[in-house]
Amino acid sequence: MTRPRPAGTGVGGGNVGDAAEGADARTGVPIGRDELAVDILDAAVRLLGCSVEADTPEGTVAVRLVEVEAYRGADDPASHSFRGRTARNAVMFGPPGHLYVYFVYGMHYCANVTCLANGEAGAVLLRAGEVTSDSATAFARRPTARRAAELARGPARLAALLGLSRAHNGLDLTDPRSPVRVLAGPPVDPAAVRTGPRVGVAAAHETPWRFWIADSPAVSPYRPGRGAGTSPGTGGGGSTA
């Protein structure tokens, strides 16, 4: 895969046990682990257009990924793995294709897909998706959403919709028997991919490792982290990948 170009340039709620009851509603083919055992920037772009499917007490919920962010290990000060391996971030060190879930601000969960070769720390944060499963089930799980685009706009909403928590940390997303799976989708047209600074981070805040699909209403607005100042591009902002 061709590496995305820098910004400014262009190119053409349930627990794991309960969730298992929804296994008969599973669809599609999980992404191959080899597709994620690559550099995080390539993996991030590959994940765009793929689907995340989770078995919840209300039924299977699925979203098509339209926005992600890449985080690498020791050379990325914004990454949880920047200072080395800990009990909290151990999943980030591999194998690739596993779910890394963390708790943030004392109230939200965020979900990531591990990438790179086993032993190398890297993950892609799932920032936003478009619901592709039954909309009534999705709205039942996210009753505060006013319209479909808001159901999984932002990483906390996406994780809440899919019912993800620390109980799911470490799940193999490439296993068709897993209660949470990433399903392979056709590669997104490079002309439709945009990139810009990551949202809400102060360290390495200008690094353009946030990727999204142009014109998707589910993409979240850009928000700089504390001390990061402002950045061009809002409401999706940034430039072509």
Helices (H) and strands (E) in the chain, counts: 4, 9
**Mean pLDDT score, 153-169:** 96
Q: Which residue has the higher pLDDT, 87 or 159?
A: 159
Strand, coil or helix: 56: strand
Q: What is the mean pLDDT of the chain?
A: 81
User: What was the pLDDT predicted at 202?
Assistant: 67
Contact 13, 57 (CB under 8 A): yes
Q: Does residue 139 have a pLDDT over 70? A: yes
**Percent of the chain scored above 90 by pLDDT?**
59
**Quick one: tokens of 180?**
């949470």
For the chain, where are the E strands, in sequence order? 51-56, 59-72, 99-104, 108-114, 122-131, 180-183, 193-196, 210-213, 239-240
pLDDT at 37: 96
Q: Which of 84-88, 171-175, 220-224 has the highest mean pLDDT?
A: 171-175
pLDDT digits (tens, 9 = 90+) for 37-72: 999 999 999 999 999 999 999 999 999 999 999 988
Q: Which CATH superfamily is domain 16-217 in?
A: Methylpurine-DNA glycosylase (MPG) (3.10.300.10)
Hey, what are 58's tokens? Answer: 């209300």
**Structure-model confidence comparison of residues 118 and 1, the more confident one:** 118
